[in-house]
Structure formats: C-alpha cells, structure tokens
Amino acid sequence: MIDKIKIGFAGAGWMGGQFLNKIPLKDNAELLAVYDPKAESIKNVLKRSRVNPDCFVSDYEDIIANDDIDAVMIASPNAFHAEQSLKALNAGKHVFCEKPNSTHWEDHLRMVKADHDHPELITMTNYTLFFDQLAQIIKKMLDRRMFGEITQMQINYRHAVNIKGDKAWKLKKDFIGDALGMGITHAVFLMCHYFSPIKPVSVFACSQKSTTGRFEVHPIWSMLISFENGSSGMVLGDIENGNSYDLYQNILGTKGGLVFDSQTKFETRLKYWADETNREWVYPFDHENERKKGQDNHCLPTDISMPTSGDVVHHSTEESLDYFLEHIENKKDPYLGFENMRIVQDINFAAQLSAKIKKSVDIPADPSDLKRHLG
C-alpha cells in the first residue's frame, strides 16, 4: 500500500481547477481540504473535479492547523502566495506555489530564508515552461554546446491575459503585484534556465503604462539582462496587448543559432543552424523538405508540447504535479525550489527598481535600495 501524500489546496480558480481535476487521479496523493473565499463557486469546481464537497474549508487556517496534511498547493491570486506559503512552511508542510511566489521583495527574501531554514521540506514554484518538451530539447542542445558559447538571447512573453468576468482581479495592483510576476516571469525563468549555470549579474529595464487605462500596473516591459560571462539577454513582455501567444525565442552562439516563433506556421515555427547541420538552417517540423535535403536526422516529433498557447488547459499541470509529489516521496531538493530558483524573482524586483531609477541594477538588488524606491 502506497502512503498517500495528504494535500491541502488554496485557490480554486481557473488554474487551480486544472490541478483539482488531476489530484484525485493520483495513486500517491489524497486531497483533504480545499480553501477558497468564494464558497459557492468552489463547490461547483469541486463537483466538476470529482472531489468530495466535504473537502471545502472556509478558512485557510483550517489547512494550516490540520496535522494530517503533508503538503499545501497554492493557486490563489498572486498577492496571497507569500503569506499562504510562509504559513504552510512554518507549520511543517511542503509547499507548491504558482508563480510568482511573492509580490513584494521582502516576502521574496522571507520565502527564500524559510526554504533554507527547512531543508526537510520540499518547496516548488510552478514555472510551467520547465516541463515544456520543446524547451527541454532546446536546453539539452545548449548544455551540449551545440551552438557554442551563447552570446545573445531574446525571449518574449507577449500575451493579453484573460481579464473577463471573475478574472478582472488581474487588473488590480493589490492582487497581481506587477506584470512581471503575472506572466512575463515565464520568459525570465526560461532565459535563466537556458543560460544556467551562468548567472545574471545586472538588469536594465523600462516599462510603459497601460495603453487602455485598465491595468493599475505597467503591463509592458523591456529588460536587458547581463550575465557573468559577458553575454546578454533581452526580455520583451506585454500582458495587455498581442495577437495570440508570443513566446518568441532567438538564441545566437559562436557556432550556431536557433529561432522559435510561436506565431508562424507550424512547419517553420522552429529553425536552427550549427556545425552539425553544415551551417545550414534546418526546420525540424518540416519533415518532407528536411528529408529531401538529407537533414532528416534533425527532424523532431510533431506532437511534442511547445509554448504556443496561453490557455492553462494546455499547460503542463500534470507534469508539474507529478514533479512535486515525486520530490516529496524521494526527499530530493527540487531545481524549482524557492531558494534554488530565487534568481527569477531577484531579476523581477531588480527590474522594477531599474525602471524606477532609470539605471542598471545589480542582481540581486541591494535591499536598502529596494526599500527606498519600492517600499
């Protein structure tokens, strides 16, 4: 008999609902409690997810006080992530948190410290692109230096987030914190992941106010990130405007380069060149033409996942859930842990400071400067 991991869950919105659909199907997990302040809506979600309605609790403290609960999964609006995560960690529970894990720099540092102080507990920020199959393939190419030393990289996250109906909270600063954590952080994470283990050292950022006047935060961001080896990366982000989902990636190295364009036709969506392609561009999804050129050894399966949709139904929720549960079972420190992946939030807060003072800022930013300018 497998000892099931007992889970408490906070936040049963659209993203949370996707996880609630999957937890009951896991042999190694059992859902004991679900908290959401909207009692009526949560009961409908639980019914659709085949979860016992008796799991509903009206107070998050009921999850924290329940000694039978081993782990807490948090999919609440952004502003609640830090407080809920810290309470769970301090109660001796493993924590899975949707990105961003915090909306204030002081909370970010508290979460990193709490993770460090509790090595027996598993923490995880759900950066979903870590589980994307195309991103995994690109990371392997980079790790074996297929393109040589990477000198420049650009990654976009431009996608008009859903603000309809009960999702209008994404317009409010008190709920989302900032646009970086709301979505652009996906591009920041992917850049850090691709460059790893090379570390970012500084960022220069600028932002633009809402073009519609509806967002209380600046939804448009441009960031130039410098790395310790002299390489640089550009992140272009916009959570207000866009035509479909733009997670454009352009990577250039000393021996090759790669371009992924999520908005072009499927056959030409990905292309790359390197010594092993005879320095010719190959299109891994255009099987017919690559076979004619004798480059079919570079063809990739056409059914792999790739970042071409902002619809959370298409996110790797099952893979991220399995990752969390497996690391609890194996007592293994995860790559996506709060402390291990602190660099992403370090960049986000340094970028906010940079945009405020209109200067390049070291990563991580000096806490005294963050306090002075960001509060």
User: Within a 10 A sphere around the Cβ of 131, how many other Cβ atoms?
Assistant: 19
Range of the domain at 30: 5-128+313-337
Last residue of a domain, which of 310, 326, 346? 310
Same domain as 166, residue 270: yes
Per-residue confidence band for 53, with pLDDT thresholds at 50, 70 and 90: confident
Q: How many domains does the chain have?
A: 2
Tell me, yes or no, whether 332 lies in a domain: yes
Contact predicate 32/10, CB 8 Å: no
Per-residue confidence band for 13, with pLDDT thresholds at 50, 70 and 90: confident
| Percent above pLDDT 90 for the chain | 84
CATH number of the domain within which 264 lies: 3.30.360.10
For residue 231, give every residue at least 6 positions away whose Cβ sits within 8 Å of its Cβ, in sequence order, or none. 149, 150, 151, 152, 153, 195, 198
Same domain as 306, residue 227: yes
Give the H or E element holding residue 57: strand 56-57
Last residue of a domain, which of 271, 295, 310? 310
Tokens of 342: 């602190």
pTM of the model: 0.95
| pLDDT beyond 70 at 2 | no
Tell me, yes or no, whether 288 lies in a domain: yes
Same domain as 66, residue 164: no
Per-residue confidence band for 246, with pLDDT thresholds at 50, 70 and 90: very high
Model pLDDT for residues 354-364, shown as the tens digit of each residue: 999 999 999 99
Q: What is the overall mean pLDDT for the chain? A: 94
Omega before 100 cis (within 30°)? Answer: yes
Closest to 203 in 3D by CA, of 45, 19, 37, 353: 353
Model pLDDT for residues 114-165, shown as the tens digit of each residue: 999 999 999 999 999 999 999 999 999 999 999 999 999 999 999 998 898 8
Same domain as 326, residue 297: no
Same domain as 115, residue 153: no
Same domain as 177, residue 163: yes
Mean per-residue pLDDT, 99-128 = 97
Tell me, yes or no, whether 330 lies in a domain: yes
Contact predicate 336/97, CB 8 Å: no
Mean per-residue pLDDT, 337-360 = 98
CATH number of the domain within which 53 lies: 3.40.50.720
Which pLDDT does position 311 carry in this prediction?
A: 64
Model pLDDT for residues 170-228, shown as the tens digit of each residue: 999 999 999 999 999 999 999 999 999 999 999 999 999 999 999 999 999 999 999 99
